[in-house]
Amino acid sequence: MKTKVYYLEDKNINTEALDEAAAVIRQGGTVIFPTETVYGLGANALDEKSVSRIFEAKGRPSDNPLIVHISNYDMLLYCIGEPLSEKAQKLMAFFWPGPLTIIFKKSKAIPNEVTAGLDTVAIRMPDDSIALSLIQKSGVPIAAPSANISGKPSPTAPEHVITDMDSRVDVILCTKSTRVGLESTVIDISGEIPIVLRPGGVTLEELRKVLGEVEVDKGLEPGSVPKSPGMKYTHYAPKAPMTIVRGNEAKVRDKILELAGKHRDKGSKVGILTVDENKENYTGYDVISIGSREDSAQAAHNLFDALREFDKLMVDIIYAEAISEEYLGLAVMNRMKKAAGFNIIEV
């Protein structure tokens, strides 16, 4: 398949490329587009054949449902099969457009292929002018998972998208790297206490300010079944095996230096994922920092690129310092744990 790649300026969205991409969506094709979280791989959410092309392009298991992206509230009402609850209205008022995905009962307009047979549908309004304009011009809601090959870290920069998806989709719309850098928060508000099914760009602290009590799905930790089908897959994985070391900062440093030293002595190339404040501790290794320890937003922005960077460096093994799980740190650590296959050393 020949892929057309366009580079767009954020401010100048009224381009022929967008019109062409919108036409491709309407005709049943696939378009990769930027959002504020990660790049998405989109197709017409109302047409099962179009949606099947997404699964094909990603190599995604068909039991993993997709998020439907909308640009206005008429589209939302068309996709959902329930009246809007007070909680939903509050969330939409505070966080849309933005990195929050809300689970609703689905309407008949949404084919089973989108929801992997569930009677619910995940919906969000992205906070990106290119994404919103593409949806609006297409005139249909767009189903879109992250635009990576299944299992790889989600793409946050044009080069990630091109590496994974060139010749697998009809059109790629590129801009700069995505602002948030990891995916939206997925929330289920159907029960009395709202549950975060996937931590992401809207933090637990922000959600609690708006809704009061909010829980995180206990199924996200290993050994239990997550409520969100996609959360059960290994994911985000760099090619080299990764181990997280967590605990007292000095002990974490000593443990990583001990383990990394052993591997280096055996001739292995060791990658170390750390923060700016600690990177001097690991001279002599392939060190990547995800930014300051004090700034979880920076860590979120940098994590996926760092994981892909280790692939490029062709390291044999990776040790990663755990970061605090406050604010965006919760989502960062969720992705890091998955990337490490929950391989964590406590010190």
The residues of the shown chain that bind ligand TXA, judged by CB under 6 A, are 35, 37-38, 40, 64-67, 99, 101, 103, 115, 118, 120-122, 126, 144-146, 183-184, 186, 197-198, 228-231
Between 114 and 240, name the residue whose CB sits nearer to ligand TXA.
114
**Helix H segments across the chain?**
16-26, 48-58, 73-79, 86-95, 112-115, 129-138, 158-165, 204-211, 249-265, 296-313, 329-339
Instruction: Report d(CA 140, CA 137) in Å as an integer.
Output: 8
Smallest gap, in angstroms, from Cβ of residue 198 to Mg ion?
10
DSSP 30: -
CB of 321 to ligand TXA, least distance (A): 25
**SS3 string of 285-329?**
CEEEECCCCCCHHHHHHHHHHHHHHHHHHCCCEEEEECCCCCCCH
Count of residues that bind Mg ion according to CB under 5 A: 1
**Pattern 228-257, binding to Mg ion, x per CB under 5 A?**
------------------------------
Q: How far is CA 39 from CA 87, 129, 178, 237, in A?
A: 28, 13, 7, 17
Q: Rg of the Cα trace of the chain?
A: 20
Q: Tokens standing for 180?
A: 């948030």
Near Mg ion by CB under 5 A: residue from 44, 101, 138, 146: 146
**Closer CB to ligand TXA, residue 38 or residue 135?**
38
- Kindly state the smallest distance separating residue 230's Cβ from ligand TXA, in Å: 2
Report, in Å, the least distance between residue 236 CB and Mg ion: 8
Pick between residue 255 and residue 335 the one whose CB is nearest to ligand TXA.
Answer: 335
- Measured from each CB, the residue nearest to Mg ion is 146
CA distance 144 to 65: 10
State which residue has the least CB distance to ligand TXA. 230
In the bound state with Mg ion, the residue whose beta carbon lies nearer, of 101 and 289, is 101
- Give the whole-angstrom CA distance, residue 340 versus residue 344: 8
Q: Which is nearer to ligand TXA, 185 or 289 (CB)?
A: 185
Residue 228: name its binding partner from ligand TXA, Mg ion, none (Cβ under 5 to 8 Å by kind). ligand TXA
Cβ 185 to ligand TXA shortest distance, Å: 8
184 binds Mg ion (CB under 5 A): no
Residue with tokens 């989108």: 114
Please report how close the Cβ of residue 38 comes to ligand TXA at its closest, in angstroms.
5
Of 45 and 317, nearer to ligand TXA (C-beta) is: 45
Q: Is the dihedral of CA 81, 87, 91, 93 positive or negative?
A: positive
The helix/strand/coil state of 71 is: coil
Q: Which is nearer to ligand TXA, 141 or 271 (CB)?
A: 141
> What count of other Cβ atoms lies within 10 Å of the Cβ of residue 249?
14
> Is position 178 an interface residue for Mg ion (rule: CB under 5 A)?
no
Tokens linked to 314: 């062709």
Nearest distance from C-beta of residue 200 to ligand TXA, angstroms: 6
Minimal CA–CA distance to 244: which of 146, 320, 143, 157? 320
Residue ranges in contact with Mg ion by CB under 5 A? 146
